[in-house]
Copies of this chain bind each other. A is one copy, B any other.
Amino acid sequence: MSKYMSAQFSGLKAYTPGEQPLDMEYVKLNTNESPFPPSPQVIKVIQSEQAKRLNLYPDPEYTALRQALAQRYGVNKDNVFVANGSDEVLNFSFLAFCDANNGIAFPNISYGFYQVFAQLYHIPAKIIPLRPDFHLAPEDYWNLDCNIVFANPNAPTGLAISAAQVESIVQRNPKHVVVVDEAYVDFGGESCVPLTKQYDNLLVCMTFSKSRSMAGARLGFAIANEALIEDLDRIRYSTNPYNINRLTAKAGVAAVESEEYYKENCRVIRENRAYTETQLERRGFYTLPSQANFLFTRCPDMDGSTLYQALKRRGVLVRYWDKPILRNYVRVTIGSRSQMDVFLAAVDDARKEK
């Protein structure tokens, strides 16, 4: 920290994204990317003559993209907010709805960025422990006196709660915003988007980075009552109105229109998830039942850090956290069948060495 930085950030601990090492090609099972390329229609848009128009700013209202998303999710354009990745949706949500008097509650084990946003903006955080088996108990979030955010399915556990359970939380916190981060919903979770029509305090946050294979394009969105969307847009127009790349916005429309392609990819991921889970079970691993594109799993004879390092030496990247409750687990992204076989072979090899 330089002597010029505002003292308010002296304690700020930034987010640590999953490593993206450049030294060699790894089998990357550490940042929950899709193993599949974007749809052929998306690639066609990006490789089209549109590249020659990059001298022009995008439409800052991103009308076509919001319309496409509205149609896909059965809402109106004014119920859709678009952003430079869902991290930006979350960032703006913390900024817009929270302050010193309006704190935010989130699980102790969830997307690590919630804690960072709270710290960044000096927002009081109420951290609610998951139950010992890692499940999120909706009643722990009833009648809180603050905003709420959680991932559903949750990360890194992969566990999901039902839309009815989310509704119980939304209903019982009418004076505060409940942000449901559905980054992984397409792999088996139940979306709460339909509930946004009934509840003006529910904001559903989604991304093109996972099921839609566009992590590198940076595109996220939120669906909510139009007043909440207006609030987020007010922040967007006060920070970075042209927040999405012009080609990405066009590619996003093509992605929404490529539903069948992505549905099939999600089916394959679920199949590979079941396969990997079975294979790990045969090896004595304990794995949480995941609704996401990753598994949170515990090796019978190595802690998370040891397994992570042994796999990295073998060219396979997974993720682990050096936190007491998580220490024995690793999170493994579900990739292609051949990637999972490389991972399983590396696991076997690592355990033999031991």
Q: Which residues of A contact B (CB under 8 A)?
A: 1-9, 12, 14-17, 20, 22, 28, 31, 33-38, 42-43, 46-48, 51-61, 63, 84-85, 87-88, 91, 95-99, 102, 116-117, 119-120, 176-177, 200-201, 209, 213-218, 225, 227-228, 230-231, 234-235, 237-248, 251
Contacts and interface: CB of A to CB of B under 8 A. Distances in A.
Contacts of A99: 6-8
B17 A37 contact: no
A51 B218 CA distance: 13
B15 A237 contact: yes
Given A91-B239, A91-B240, A234 B57 contact: no
Nearest to A243: B84
A14 B238 contact: yes
A241 to B, nearest CB: 5
Nearest to A34: B55
A228 B5 CA distance: 8
Nearest to A46: B51
A247 B48 CA distance: 14
A17 B84 CA distance: 18
A2 B56 contact: no
B201 A4 contact: yes
Most buried by B among A5, A17, A217, A248: A5
Nearest to A215: B57
A112 to B, nearest CB: 11
B43 A51 contact: yes
A63 B1 CA distance: 21
Given A12-B234, A242-B87, A96 B6 contact: yes
A53 B102 CA distance: 41
B63 A22 contact: yes
A227 B37 contact: no
B15 A33 contact: no
Given A15-B241, A17-B57, A20-B57, 15 more contacts: A4-B228, A9-B96, A9-B235, A14-B238, A15-B237, A16-B237, A33-B55, A38-B52, A46-B54, A54-B214, A54-B251, A87-B242, A88-B239, A120-B239, A247-B247
Contacts of A36: 55
Contacts of A216: 53-58, 245-247
Nearest to A228: B2
Contacts of A209: 57
A98 B6 CA distance: 6
Contact of A97 (B6, B200, B240, B245): B6
B6 A102 contact: yes
A51 B22 contact: no
B4 A177 contact: yes
A305 to B, nearest CB: 22
Contact of A55 (B4, B61, B117, B214): B214
6 contacts: A5-B97, A9-B235, A14-B241, A33-B57, A47-B48, A217-B247
A31 to B, nearest CB: 6
A51 to B, nearest CB: 4
A6 B85 CA distance: 23
